[in-house]
Homo-oligomer: A and B are copies of this chain.
């Protein structure tokens, strides 16, 4: 699959991609031959470029213009040529100070991370909060609303608060709900949601449950409270920065981009995918199949605490993104957030 290029071709591809990342404009043979001292004439460079074009790594917008890298070209660059340097200690130090996490709710932390990611990269920051199902049970409360509707408030180990309205037997009193809460808090403390579900299922099947009305109701209630997925929380920051990029300069492209950001569905799908793997991942718009993010690239990394609450954060920018700068930022930020989440556990 991955074609092998000789060194000269690699160097030239590298140079073209780097130039294009800066200028956003087609790169000509003359510029390459002059700026980088390969000691090659433009004509020789042109020959190589023609080869690269044939391989599908470059293309030219029209007959007589320079070349721009294709999606495949960028992929090759990222996989083979990109050198991601580690941040220096002082850079890490500085980066840590960009984030102010003191006395913040989970929501605020997620939002702040998005904002800072966007600010540092000058692209759009994305954060997906840890999924409900990946969290560890800490506390649950039930509050009676009207007509047999109950407000459930769930708090995870890390202080993630989620709430949900559920239907319940309208005969349940405030007192009942309190007892149910106490019972569950004692029973379920420290279990992962997955374990909680298993435990609940097991207990519901035991026969003797049917003799204890309250216990049965407790189990039913917590089942509907914890069974269904709670909607994913996605934070998007700095969407307007994307509009400054030349690749989205036309009104139609802008509108499409903002629509995509607004609906969040496609973004969630992408972030979901990256959650399966570890470390930094890069998606290139054109290759990412049915997702309609043409011209965009996504750099993501997952964060998690020791108990396994997993979230994803990243930066979305034009394919022509400054990967060597953004990748370490995303990487280190993910580590930073993981550490902060662990700090929440006393």
For A146, give its contact among B163, B167, B343 (CB under 8 Å): B343
The 7 listed contacts between A and B (C-beta, < 8 Å) are A105-B165, A138-B143, A143-B155, A143-B159, A153-B155, A161-B161, A251-B251
Interface string of A251-291 (1 = CB under 8 A from B): 10011001100100000000000000000000000000000
Residues of B within 8 A of A104 (CB): 165
Q: Which residue of B lies closest to A167 (CB)?
A: B103
Quickly give the copy total for this chain: 2
User: Is A249 engaged at the interface, CB distance under 8 Å to the other chain?
Assistant: yes
User: Is A34 engaged at the interface, CB distance under 8 Å to the other chain?
Assistant: no
Interface string of A139-151 (1 = CB under 8 A from B): 1010111110101
Please tell me if the beta carbons of A145 and B163 are within 8 angstroms of each other in the complex: no
Interface size class for chain A? 35 or more
- Within the complex, the shortest CB–CB distance from A177 to chain B, in Å, comes to 11
User: Is A308 engaged at the interface, CB distance under 8 Å to the other chain?
Assistant: no
- Give the CA-CA distance A225 to B112 in the complex, in Å: 21
Interface residues of A in 288-346 (CB under 8 A from B): 343-346
User: Is A95 engaged at the interface, CB distance under 8 Å to the other chain?
Assistant: no
Residues of B within 8 A of A145 (CB): 159, 344, 346
Residues of B within 8 A of A103 (CB): 149, 165-167
Interface residues of A in 148-197 (CB under 8 A from B): 149, 151, 153, 155, 159, 161, 163-167
Known: A103-B149, A151-B155, A161-B163. 8 other contacts (CB 8 A): A138-B143, A141-B153, A145-B159, A146-B345, A153-B155, A153-B161, A243-B258, A251-B251
